[in-house]
Amino acid sequence: MKIATFNVNGINGRLPALIRWLGTAKPDIVCLQELKTPQEAFPEAALKQAGYGAIWQGQKSWNGVAILARGATPVETRRGLPGDPEDDHSRYIEAAIGGATIGCLYLPNGNPAPGPKFDYKLRWFQRLSAYARKQLARKIPFVLAGDYNVIPTDLDVYKPESWKNDALFLPESRKAFQALVAQGWTDALRALHPDERIYTFWDYFRNHWGRNAGLRIDHLLLSPALAKRLVAAGVDREVRGWPKASDHAPTWIELAEKGATVRAQAGKAKAARPAARSGPPKPSSRSRAQPKKPSGRGRGRSAE
């Protein structure tokens, strides 16, 4: 089973790239973030034609999350995190698919920090952690996948000193992520690639993509029942170089089928594709394409 998370940064504007990636990568389950579209404008028909059923929670101009399933329709189990009935941001959706529960999340950016938006980020993190702990206690196969807007370690950022005052890298954000993982979750990409410098996000401005000045902020956390089935993980970073690309690249994992031999499945996965792609992007006609408008993520952004 292949599960991916992908912040599309506007699903309707990036739909051709999304459909192209779905056709080449063929993930079984996909968590999408930053749909940036109202509920009624979600491209359900186009995704269905591409072979994917979907559930989604839209929001005009901001936020928005969705879960796709290849050849099936996800069974929705939750919409929104508990703990704050007045929070109307579309940031969490959950579904049962293929014997696992998939939680798709878009954690608040938190900039500028300190300030109300950073306080909201930390409160949202507390709600996520409380909910995640309860799911671990159920001992079920569970994935928490999405854009966490957290850079966990120095290995996950191209220039740590430049981000020390950013909400994505502040000690409070990193400690919250570490505490979440310490509950018993497995950071899938780091579990298989503990020492590699791997990025999932490259901002649009100042040639961040061309310079490989990236961040790892998209994560898939696995419950113990799924962590023992983990056989491969990586980033389809070439997608970031496609025309009209998102500033994120799809991040994915592969799980051995329940009851299968993990060693055998890992061998097949390794033979099929490189596990992760790090290092500068190779020059090509695809990688030269750059959107012109900056995303505003990070220090200069008054983020949601």
CA 190/CA 70 separation, integer angstroms: 26
Reported as a single tens digit per residue, the pLDDT across 194-247 is 999 999 999 999 999 999 999 999 999 999 999 999 999 999 999 999 999 999
Is 248 labeled as catalytic in the residue annotation? yes
CA 86/CA 241 separation, integer angstroms: 39
Q: Is 248 annotated as a binding residue?
A: yes
Burial class of residue 298 (count of CB atoms within 10 Å of its CB; 0-12, 13-18, 19+)? buried
Query: How many H-runs (helices) and E-runs (strands) does the chain carry?
Result: 7, 12
Residue that is written with structure tokens 């079984």 in the block: 28
At residue 280, the pLDDT reads 43
At residue 259, the pLDDT reads 75
203 and 295 in contact (C-beta within 8 Å)?
yes
Is 147 labeled as catalytic in the residue annotation? yes
Reported as a single tens digit per residue, the pLDDT across 35-93 is 999 999 999 999 999 999 999 999 999 999 999 999 999 999 999 999 999 999 999 99
Is 106 labeled as catalytic in the residue annotation? yes
At residue 249, the pLDDT reads 99
pLDDT at 28 over 90: yes
Given the residues 28, 147, 203, 218, the one annotated as active site = 147
**Whole-model pTM?**
0.89
Q: Is 109 annotated as a binding residue?
A: no
CA 151/CA 115 separation, integer angstroms: 19
| Domain locations in the chain as residue ranges | 2-272
Q: Is 247 annotated as a binding residue?
A: yes
Region of poorest pLDDT, from 185-199, 211-225, 284-298: 284-298
Q: What is the 3-state secondary structure (H, E, C) of 191-249?
A: HHCCCCCCCCECCCCCCCCCCCCCECCEEEEECHHHHCCEEEEEECHHHHHCCCCCCEC
CA 20 from chain center: how many Å?
Answer: 18
Higher-confidence position of 173 and 294: 173
251 and 4 in contact (C-beta within 8 Å)?
yes
At residue 303, the pLDDT reads 42
At residue 263, the pLDDT reads 56
At residue 258, the pLDDT reads 84
- Tell me which H or E stretch contains 93: strand 92-97
Q: Please state, as a whole number, how many other Cβ atoms lie within 10 Å of the Cβ of residue 272.
A: 9
Q: What is the CATH number assigned to the segment(s) 2-272?
A: 3.60.10.10
Given the residues 28, 52, 92, 106, the one annotated as active site = 106
For the record, the structure tokens of 131 come out as 């909910």
